[in-house]
Structure formats: structure tokens, C-alpha cells
């Protein structure tokens, strides 16, 4: 099939068409993650997806084969929403799309690409390894049900932060972050706010989050002094007591995040895991500013 694959810019298709193609690629997926056109539009805006450089794979007769999208920021790109329609797999479609997005990145004068793959999706992992990606870190997707008892906030000097205050904090050094949690993603998000607190022993830190209509998401936690698990637990008790009826869904928490024990203590549970993979040399801005 590889010699009859056509790669067409995703900008040639409507959001409804792209959504339909994407959903077809996920009907038998390990974690389906269906979308509608509104959610896809938000996704494109949130993660700086360039539809002119994203692609849809078709045959010359216009049979849809798959889709792959490319997020573009000043010194890096991100491959996402990659999927091949089930009955057209193992024909070189996925490889052709990834190779195209690698070429698109190089034409931008960039050489660093990020992506995530669901853990145990061995065919995808093997493809990415063959194309020069390397595994870097395991990522957790966590949820907390809204019906859990609202926690009693730990005694602390706590301050609520508005959007501008919260975004000022996430622009500080937070170490290397997955694309979804980088500063640009939070800046693009709506309804961003934060909490900052100090405990009696001098420990202090902050939490920035996105509040959606029915859900809390996109957490960024930073411990400025003290034990990270203790600071994070204090922050989470204040947040979940403030929004006891909201579901919580947070993506791509690094397995080595020192705040992770606080999430579990607060009742967050693991939904699934991803593996982050990199190709090329990470820019200094990623290592020190996100």
C-alpha cells in the first residue's frame, strides 16, 4: 500500500471531517478517547496544532487511511492524534505519516520532536524506535471522582491566585514537562487559576490548574521549600474542598514526580500510562523554562 498513499494537508478538511477520520482510527484502540468537532477545535488551539503541516492519508480514490497532527512551538514539534483506520493497518500508512511529520519539522529548521504513546502499544513503540525516537519517561493519567468526601483543608496561609498571577508562576523554571503541561499549553487554556500556600514549618509551594465546566484539569505543582508530597497534599486539600463536586482528570504526570504520593493520598487513581518519546536534541528552553 505504501506506493499509493497520498498525504494531504489536514487544513484541506473541515473539523467535522477530521473528527470523523480520527474517531474511525480509534474504534478498537486500547484507550479510544473519542472527540467531537468542538473538542478538536479546542485541542488544536490549546496545543498549537498546525493544520497546514498536519496530514490526512488517503488513497488516490480518496479512501481515508489515517490522520496525524503536528504541534509547532518556537524550537520543537509534537506528533499527536496519530491513527490509522483499522482495516488499512500494516500497510505502511503510519510510517509514511510519521516520516512526513519528521520532514515537516526539519523544513522548519527544527530537529527536536516529542510524542507520547500508550504504554504496551508495542507496534507504535517499535515504529517510533525505528524512526529514531527514544523513550524518556513514563507518564500517568489520573482521575479523582467528584463523589469522594471533600477533604478538610490543612491549616496553612493560603492565597487564591487569578489567571495572570497563576500564569506568571508557570512561566518559571519547572523542569522538563510533556507538551500538554508546558507553559504554552497553560497560557492557551481558559479558566486558569491557582493557589499558593505556606505551612507552619516554613514549607511553601503553589498549584496552577484549569477549571472547566464539570472538571478540574491541567495541574502544575511546584514546591518552593519543604517536602514535595506534604506541600502537594496541603494544596490538594484546599483545591478539592473548594470544588468538591467537580471531577478531576489530569494528564501526563511524570512517574518520577515527587508530588505523586499526594495525588494518591487524596484519592486520585490511575487510568492508564503513556511513554514519552523524543527525537533529536532537546532545546535549552524546554529543559529550563517549562
User: pLDDT tens digits for 259-277?
Assistant: 999 999 999 999 999 999 9
Give pLDDT tens digits for 164-218.
Answer: 999 999 987 777 899 999 999 999 998 999 999 999 999 999 999 999 889 999 9
Instruction: Give the neighbor-by-neighbor strand order of the sheet with 215-225.
Output: 6-9, 55-58, 64-73, 76-84, 113-118, 269-279, 134-144, 247-254, 215-225, 204-211, 192-198, 157-161
Q: How confident is the model at residue 288 (pLDDT cuts 50, 70, 90)?
A: low
Residue 143 has pLDDT above 60, yes or no: yes
pLDDT at 3: 57
Q: Do domains 2-111 and 142-277 have the same CATH topology?
A: yes
User: Do the bridges between strand 76-84 and strand 113-118 make them parallel or antiparallel, or are there none, so unpaired?
Assistant: parallel
34/86 Cα distance (integer angstroms): 15
Fold for 142-277, please state it: Aminopeptidase (3.40.630)
Q: Supply the CATH classification number for the domain 2-111.
A: 3.40.630.30
User: Which pTM value belongs to this model?
Assistant: 0.91
Where in the chain are the domains?
Answer: 2-111, 142-277
Amino acid at each position: 500500500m505504501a506506493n499509493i498513499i497520498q498525504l494531504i494537508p489536514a487544513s484541506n478538511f473541515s473539523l467535522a471531517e477530521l473528527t470523523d477520520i480520527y474517531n474511525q482510527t480509534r474504534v478498537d484502540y486500547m484507550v479510544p478517547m473519542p472527540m467531537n468537532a468542538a473538542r478538536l477545535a479546542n485541542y488544536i488551539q490549546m496545543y498549537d496544532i498546525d493544520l497546514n503541516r498536519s496530514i490526512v492519508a488517503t488513497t488516490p480514490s480518496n479512501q481515508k487511511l489515517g490522520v496525524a497532527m503536528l504541534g509547532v512551538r518556537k524550537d520543537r514539534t509534537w506528533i499527536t492524534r496519530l491513527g490509522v483506520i483499522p482495516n488499512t493497518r500494516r500497510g505502511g500508512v503510519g510510517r509514511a505519516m510519521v516520516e512526513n511529520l519528521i520532514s515537516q519539522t526539519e523544513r522548519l529548521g527544527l530537529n527536536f520532536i516529542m510524542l507520547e504513546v500508550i504504554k504496551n502499544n508495542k507496534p507504535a513503540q517499535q515504529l517510533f524506535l525505528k524512526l529514531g525516537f527514544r523513550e524518556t519517561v513514563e507518564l500517568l493519567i489520573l482521575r479523582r471522582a467528584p463523589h469522594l468526601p471533600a477533604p478538610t483543608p490543612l491549616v496553612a496561609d493560603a492565597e487564591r491566585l487569578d489567571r495572570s498571577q497563576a500564569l506568571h508562576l508557570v512561566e518559571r523554571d519547572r523542569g522538563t514537562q510533556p507538551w500538554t503541561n508546558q507553559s504554552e499549553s497553560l497560557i492557551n487554556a481558559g479558566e486558569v487559576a491557582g493557589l499558593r500556600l505556606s505551612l507552619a514549618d516554613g514549607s511553601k509551594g503553589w498549584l496552577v490548574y484549569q477549571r472547566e465546566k464539570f472538571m478540574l484539569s491541567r495541574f502544575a505543582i511546584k514546591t518552593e521549600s519543604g517536602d514535595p508530597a506534604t506541600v502537594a497534599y496541603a494544596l490538594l486539600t484546599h483545591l478539592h474542598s473548594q470544588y468538591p463536586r467537580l471531577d478531576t482528570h489530569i494528564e501526563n504526570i511524570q512517574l518520577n514526580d515527587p508530588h505523586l504520593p499526594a495525588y494518591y493520598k487524596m484519592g486520585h487513581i490511575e487510568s492508564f500510562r503513556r511513554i514519552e518519546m523524543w527525537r533529536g536534541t532537546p532545546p535549552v528552553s524546554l529543559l529550563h523554562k517549562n
